[in-house]
Structure 1
Amino acid sequence: ACKLQTCLNKYTYQPDKCNDNLKQLYKCCQKFYEETGEKGESTACPIPSVVKRWLKDHEK
């Protein structure tokens, strides 16, 4: 989350330059939810369904 925030601050008008950081955050959130049975809470992670949908929509 910190790396993403730093990137967004650096590239204020070019958020697409931070896509790798965003993907890392979502993958971390996915792992967090897998380990907690989707019951964990985090201020850095969206709800589990949003994480799943985002990762599906941004497969490479």
Structure 2
Amino acid sequence: MSDTRKDPCKANACRIQACLTKNHYQEDKCLDVLEAMRQCCLKWHKESLCCSGIDLEKTYLPDASKQKNPTGKSNK
């Protein structure tokens, strides 16, 4: 990779850091930003150094967890 080429997912990584800082590192407050990063990494993981720690299989949006429990009720 050329040093002159910008990392395609760097802006998303910066948004994650800003969101986490703003929300006192509560990941659940930044799910949309985390999912945007995952989507960027799905496309650019071979070119982006920012994607090195991203789990491409994990979705961050709540809709995915509803699919596991279709009733939407908690399992108490």
TM-score range, shorter chain: 0.5 to 0.7
Q: For residue 17 of structure 2, what is the aligned residue in structure 1?
A: 5
Aligned mates of 2:44, 2:35 — CA distance in 1: 14
Q: SS state of the match for residue 12, structure 1?
A: coil
| Aligned 1:13-28 pairs, distance under 5 A | 13-28=25-40
Q: SS state of the match for residue 44, structure 1?
A: helix
Over the aligned positions, Cα root-mean-square deviation in angstroms equals 2.5
Q: Which has the higher helix share?
A: 1
For CA contacts below 8 A with separation 6 or more, give which structure has more relative contact order: 2
Relative distance call for 1:24 and 1:12 in structure 2 (3 A) is same
Q: SS state of the match for residue 51, structure 2?
A: coil
Would you identify which runs of 4 or more consecutive aligned residues in structure 1 move more than 4 Å? none
Name structure 1 gaps, 5 residues minimum.
34-39
The normalised TM-score by structure 2 is: 0.52
User: Given residue 37 of structure 2, which amino acid in structure 1 is its aligned partner?
Assistant: L
The normalised TM-score by structure 1 is: 0.64
8 Å CA contact retained: 2:23, 2:29 = yes
Q: For residue 45 of structure 1, what is the aligned residue in structure 2?
A: 51
Determine what percentage of the aligned residue pairs are the same residue: 37
Relative distance call for 1:12 and 1:45 in structure 2 (3 A) is same
Name structure 2 gaps, 5 residues minimum.
1-12, 64-76
